[in-house]
Homo-oligomer: A and B are copies of this chain.
Amino acid sequence: MHKEHTLTKNQQIIFDLIDKSSEPLKAYSILFNVQKKGIKAPLQVYRALDKLVEIGKIHKIESRNAFIACHNSSCQVAKATAFSICEICEKVTEISSAGLSKYLANFKDKDGMKYSKYNLEFFGLCKKCR
C-alpha cells in the first residue's frame, strides 16, 4: 500500500490525467491536456511528475520517456519496477510478480552487491498484437 500523500492541486490534476489514461503519457502531451486547467509551462508538469514518481504514484517508462500510474498495490518500493512493453501497439503493463521482485531484490552481482532499486523493461508483443 502506498503511503498516503495529499497531492497539491497541480499534482492532482496531472495524476488524474495519467491515472485515467489507458496508455503512458508523455510530458508535453500532459502539458497540452492540462493547459485548460491553468497549467501552462513545462516546468509545472515536470515538477509534478518528479514528485509523483518520488512518492510512487506514477512510474517513468525510461525507454519511452512516458509516465503511467502505478496500479500495483503491492508496489511498496516505488523504485523497484518491472514492465512489459508491446513493440507494436506500445501498450505498457506493470508486472506484479512476487517471484520476479524477490529474485531481483536478492540478486547479487559478482562483487556480492545487492540492489533494492531497479527498473526492468521487457519488450515483446502483447496478446492482441501476437
Contact = CB atoms under 8 A, between A and B. Distances in A.
A28 interface: no
A122 B111 contact: no
Given A62-B63, A63-B62, A103-B103, A109 B97 contact: yes
A113 interface: yes
Interface of A: 62-63, 79, 84, 93, 95, 97, 100, 103-104, 107, 109-111, 113-124, 127
A29 to B, nearest CB: 19
A119 B122 CA distance: 7
Contact of A121 (B100, B113, B119, B124): B119
Contacts of A116: 124
